[in-house]
Amino acid sequence: MKILVTGVGGPTPRSFTLSLKKFGTKFNNSTFIATDNNPLSIGLYQKDLFEKSYLIPGCTDENYWNNINQIIDENNIEYAIIQPELEVLEWSKYAQNNTLPCKVLLPDYQLACSLVDKAQLNEILLPLNLTPLSFEFDRNYQNLNEIFDKLGSEFWVRSSKGTSGLGSLKINNLESLKNWIHINNEVTTFLASKFLTGRNLACKLLYWNGKLVRSASAERVNYIMSKVAPSGITGNTSFGRFLNDKKIVSVAIKAMDYLFNNLNIKPHGFFTIDLKEDENGKPFITEINVRHVAFTQCLAAAGANFAEDTMRLLSNDESFDHNYKMYEFEKDLIFLRDVDSYPILMKETEFLK
């Protein structure tokens, strides 16, 4: 089996591949072929993960699809794993009017666009009261005091689009907001949201041809290189807890069901729903990713191998159980991870004192 993996400069595509090679049983002997548009991407040179690597144009380049199709044809590639957000959007858009060159699990394009735009997601989910009170504004917005009037003296601000906590910071005065807008000159629109003090959670949902088949939940506690980000959030979890939280999963499912119905589309794809609890423990959805996230190999190591599930579905594995299953983990199980290291799983009670 030959599998194309795009965007291998990012940690998520490499984490997906490791989930199959190190923690899987059915696809660990597959041939993995890598692409990225940056010659400095480390994944292009990881021969232990990828048999071949290709430097290609960015997904918005007019030559992108010619390159992709040529790579797929030359290598007889059967499946593709598309993880970078921009490429997920490009492949989903392409699939609207074209036959994809190989099998791939993708969300509907209209849904993907709605999820990538966090302000639009907030607006759609507003009737459910599942998103924090928020306010979108562009970088030239003049009446910044209005944001404080609406959200209070403390709130969270970030880019309304993008991943890895782009442009994120806890704001507690007007001057810091003005400075932050000035510093983040690459951000055109911001989303300010009520600051939530509870746990930072993630729920994984895997849909296949109209049906939810797998789910799991976890808590993000600390982040890799958190000291370099003023917000303390870099998008890469260094310490997390595996959860068996049906309430979190039910909130995520409720939101996704509403989105599918609102857009009149069939449930299909893999989604990572990020949630934050308020002071009373009520979870609110802060964003929904249209892909896996970097700690997917940690889930695989703990028995929730969504990468292998995805490949089994794409390859029509007749032994795959299509009945819904929420992955459950050992009690007190946590993970530790860092750059260039395999994750460590252990019981939280085993921390060195």
Interval 21-50: pLDDT, tens: 999 999 999 999 999 999 999 999 999 999
pLDDT at 223: 82
CB of 251 closer than 8 Å to CB of 171: no
HEC readout, the chain: CEEEEECCCCHHHHHHHHHHHCCCCCCCCCEEEEEECCCCCHHHHCCCCCCEEEECCCCCCCCHHHHHHHHHHHHCCCEEECCCHHHHHHHHHHHHHCCCCCECCCCCHHHHHHHHCHHHHHHHHHHHCCCCCEEEEECCCCCCHHHHHHHCCCEEEEECCCCCCCCCEEECCHHHHHHHHHHCCCCCEEEEEECCCCCEEEEEEEEECCEEEEEEEEEEEEECCHHHCCCCCCCCEEEEEEECCHHHHHHHHHHHHHHHHHHCCCCCEEEEEEEEECCCCCEEEEEEECCCCCCHHHHHHCCCCHHHHHHHHHCCCCCCCCCCEECCCCCCEEEECCCCCCCEEEEHHHCCC
pLDDT at 21: 96
State the pLDDT confidence band at 282, using cuts at 50, 70 and 90.
very high
Q: In a 10 Å sphere around its CB, with 0-12 CB exposed, 13-18 middle and 19+ buried, how is residue 182 labelled? A: exposed
Listed in sequence order, the residues at least 6 apart from 108 whose beta carbon sits closer than 8 Å to its beta carbon are 92, 263, 265, 266, 268, 269
What's the pTM value of the predicted model, to 2 decimals? 0.93
State the pLDDT confidence band at 287, using cuts at 50, 70 and 90.
very high
Encoded amino acid at 345, one letter:
L
pLDDT at 340: 75
State the pLDDT confidence band at 169, using cuts at 50, 70 and 90.
confident
pLDDT at 339: 80
Top-level class of domain 2-104: alpha beta
Domain 200-350 CATH assignment equals 3.30.470.20: yes
State the pLDDT confidence band at 168, using cuts at 50, 70 and 90.
confident
State the pLDDT confidence band at 199, using cuts at 50, 70 and 90.
very high
Between CA 149 and CA 229 the distance in angstroms is 27
Token output for 97? 């009017």
> Mean of the pLDDT values across residues 269-273?
98
Where do we find the tokens 């990881």? 46
Task: Say if residue 85's pLDDT is above 90.
Answer: yes
Residue 216's Cα: distance from chain center in Å? 14
Task: Say if residue 229's pLDDT is above 90.
Answer: no
CB of 6 closer than 8 Å to CB of 65: no
State the pLDDT confidence band at 164, using cuts at 50, 70 and 90.
low
Q: How many CB atoms sit inside 10 A of residue 333's CB?
A: 18
CB of 118 closer than 8 Å to CB of 191: yes
Tell me what the pLDDT averaged over the chain comes to: 93
pLDDT at 166: 63
Q: Residue 151's closest CA among 184, 178, 188, 191? A: 191
Between CA 279 and CA 54 the distance in angstroms is 48
Two domains, one topology: 2-104 and 133-194: no
> Mean of the pLDDT values across residues 136-150?
93
Domain ranges of the chain: 2-104, 133-194, 200-350
Task: Say if residue 235's pLDDT is above 60.
Answer: yes
pLDDT at 228: 60
Task: Say if residue 333's pLDDT is above 60.
Answer: yes
Task: Say if residue 234's pLDDT is above 80.
Answer: no
Top-level class of domain 133-194: alpha beta
